[in-house]
Amino acid sequence: MVQFTYADGSSPKVTAGGGILASLGGVYEAFTAGAHGLDVQLAAGLKYRTIPAATNQDASWLRFPVDGLLFYRAPAGIRVGGGGTVHLRNVLQASGAVLNDRVEFRNTPGLLLQADYARGDVRFDLRYTAMTYEVERGGSGTVGASSIGAGLTFFLGRRAGGARRL
């Protein structure tokens, strides 16, 4: 967590693992046996976080996650799996009365665990990321970036034979 102090003395919490994530990727059905199977999912995206609005300070955290996951696909649209992630070009930029600085973090790998449920072409997911950011420039040390998040995924396209994807 990174901490700023506003002019009124209050402090917003800026969690390293927090933010909004938008990604694009693909799923490959590696193995299918009846209603069960194994899926390989790869995605790359953009994760963004900012501090609540302030008159004397602005800060934003931008990084580009690249994820790879292996899922067990169960009947009824349920998948559980795990894999890895790395956050590229991981930068915290701050400007204002309290802090004018840029902190860059190493491209450190992390662990992903995810469970999701499909309903037609929409998938609802719950994800845990275990990760620690290591400062590369603009400071020193590490920042805990583990997080739990919920997501919504839309699947596009068709499989061979015209069947819709999960």
Whether 162 maps to a domain, the answer reads no
Could you tell me the residue range of the domain that residue 102 belongs to? Answer: 20-156
d(CA 166, CA 164): 7
CATH for 107: 2.40.160
The pLDDT of residue 160 is 39
Mean pLDDT of residues grouped by 10 in the chain (166 residues)? 61 74 91 94 92 74 95 94 96 78 91 94 94 90 91 73 40
Whether 3 maps to a domain, the answer reads no
Return the residue matching tokens 């955290």.
Answer: 61
Whether 4 maps to a domain, the answer reads no
Whether 52 maps to a domain, the answer reads yes
Whether 46 maps to a domain, the answer reads yes
Question: In terms of pTM, does the model score above 0.75?
Answer: yes
Burial class (CB in 10 A: 0-12, 13-18, 19+), 133: buried
The pLDDT of residue 4 is 57
| Number of domains making up the chain | 1
Cα four-point dihedral sign 136, 49, 129, 32: negative
The pLDDT of residue 162 is 38
d(CA 34, CA 48): 40
The pLDDT of residue 140 is 85
Whether 50 maps to a domain, the answer reads yes
Classified as helix, coil or strand, 152 is: strand
Whether 12 maps to a domain, the answer reads no
Whether 28 maps to a domain, the answer reads yes
